[in-house]
Amino acid sequence: MDPLSFSSSAAMAQQTWELENNIVTMEPPQSSESDSVFHYDESAQAKIQQEKPWLKDPHYFKRVKISALALLKMVVHARSGGTIEIMGLMQGKTDGDAIIVMDAFALPVEGTETRVNAQADAYEYMVEYSQTNKQAGRLENVVGWYHSHPGYGCWLSGIDVSTQMLNQQYQEPFLAVVIDPTRTVSAGKVEIGAFRTYPEGYMPSDEPVSEYQTIPLNKIEDFGVHCKQYYSMDVTYFKSSLDCHLLDLLWNKYWVNTLSSSPLLGNGDYVAGQISDLAEKLEQAEGQLSHSRFGSLITPTQRKKEEQSQLAKITRDSAKITVEQVHGLMSQVIKNTLFNSVRQSVKTQPESSGPEPMVQS
């Protein structure tokens, strides 16, 4: 394999991929402009606080920019909680219709799904932490809160919605972020969502539903009741030039971890939970379908469409689970081929003959 041709074809592939996915690259790292976002302009922020442009338009903030550091901290904290929900606060500033999150810190409270104002426990901690931070040169204010939904997706539950509505009354500008660490590990990409609630009684214009995600059966009611009371925002990430440089170099040491990661092993019970949840949904859908079979003369076409889309949803969910599993298995098979199928002259080599279904006798 000629390394030269490798890299040029790889470069072409990368460009096509970038084009397909509308990747916007930041400015070249040499310029100091990309780091200007790190500069905290006290007077500009104070001015925005006085003007309060968000009062006129409930849909004012549309985008969120999260720094690499904040994302890393939040995901690590969320994962360290295991199956317990954790929460924390984010610091940053506003910039036009975007909220910029520069940093995040964890709060010593747990289990926010059962209490509305868990933040009250942590006020003392919050105040002390903000004070010490300001001394150490972190000048931004608290601009939102984040918490985790381990395994059941990124959305706001009823309690979350009431908490956020309260926050948006008294602590504007404020943002709610939800992270799902279990799905992150299972899918291999970060599951994160940023939301703002509408004020009480505001009727949003019919928006296109944001990216679909599967919600477990026991939570789906909670989701459905409140899903119209908030909207989600676009999340983008940014990093400083030094971060870029360091992350590039980090890859030199990191590739071992990428190769050795085995998502299948870590997430076994989560996948089992997903499949059993899917089975329940299927039973539910089946029950509805069999009714409509007999009542096909009378029932309007609307109900049929609903059940059909129910089945379609289930199909999408099952496809998603399968894709994740297959990806995990691919890594395992690759590792097996790389490290186990040595000494081919001595043994017969079933592994290298490719993925034919192997039946266990």
Partner 1 sequence: MASSSSGLTFKLHPLVIVNISDHHTRVKSQSQPPTATSASNSPAPRVFGCVIGVQRGRTVEIFNSFELLYDSSTRSLDRSFLEKKQDLYKKVFPNFYILGWYSTGADAEESDMHIHKALMDINENPVYVLLNPLINHAQKDLPVTIYESEMHVIDGIPQLIFVRSSYTIETVEAERISVDHVAHLKPSDGGSAATQLAAHLTGIHSAIKMLNSRIRVLHHYLNAMQKGEIPYEHSLLRQVSSLLRRLPAIESEKFQDDFLMEYNDTLLISYLAMFTDCSSTMNDLVDKINIAYDRHSRKGGRTAFI
The verdict on 276 binding partner 1 (CB under 8 A) reads no
| Distance between CA atoms of residues 339 and 337, nearest Å | 6
What part of residues 279-298 is at the interface with partner 1 (CB under 8 A)?
282, 289, 296-297
The verdict on 333 binding partner 1 (CB under 8 A) reads yes
Beta bridge partners of 65: 100, 236
Residues whose CB falls within 8 Å of the CB of residue 273, separated by 6 or more in sequence, listed in order: 151, 216
Q: Binding partner 1 by CB under 8 A: which of 27, 207, 329, 352?
A: 329
Which range binds partner 1 by CB under 8 A, 93-101, 156-164, 224-232, 329-337?
329-337
Is the Cβ of residue 162 or residue 325 nearer to partner 1 in the bound state? 325
Burial of 93 (0-12, 13-18, 19+ CB in 10 A): buried
What part of residues 130-149 is at the interface with partner 1 (CB under 8 A)?
132-133, 135-139
The verdict on 123 binding partner 1 (CB under 8 A) reads no
Question: How many residues would you count in the chain?
Answer: 361
Angle at 56 between CA 55 and CA 59, to 5 degrees: 85
- Nearest to residue 84, comparing CAs of 9, 148, 8, 159? 148
- Nearest to residue 306, comparing CAs of 319, 324, 292, 323? 292
What part of residues 35-54 is at the interface with partner 1 (CB under 8 A)?
35-36, 38-40
What part of residues 150-209 is at the interface with partner 1 (CB under 8 A)?
181, 184-185, 188-190
Is the Cβ of residue 84 or residue 334 nearer to partner 1 in the bound state? 334
Contacts 24+ apart (CB under 8 A), 158-163: 158/222, 158/225, 158/226, 159/112, 159/113, 159/114, 159/115, 159/116, 160/112, 160/113, 161/197, 161/226, 161/229, 161/230, 162/116, 163/112, 163/116, 163/117, 163/119
Total of residues contacting partner 1 (CB under 8 A)? 115
Which range binds partner 1 by CB under 8 A, 54-62, 100-108, 154-162, 168-176?
100-108
Residues 275 and 321 sit within 8 Å (Cβ to Cβ) = yes
Which range binds partner 1 by CB under 8 A, 13-21, 48-56, 156-164, 223-231?
13-21
Structure-token pair, residue 325: 């599993």
Q: Binding partner 1 by CB under 8 A: which of 45, 60, 125, 349?
A: 125
Is the Cβ of residue 161 or residue 177 nearer to partner 1 in the bound state? 177
The verdict on 217 binding partner 1 (CB under 8 A) reads no
| Distance between CA atoms of residues 310 and 282, nearest Å | 9
Is the Cβ of residue 225 or residue 338 nearer to partner 1 in the bound state? 338
CB of 158 to partner 1, least distance (A): 26
The verdict on 98 binding partner 1 (CB under 8 A) reads no
Is the Cβ of residue 161 or residue 185 nearer to partner 1 in the bound state? 185
Is the Cβ of residue 199 or residue 350 nearer to partner 1 in the bound state? 350
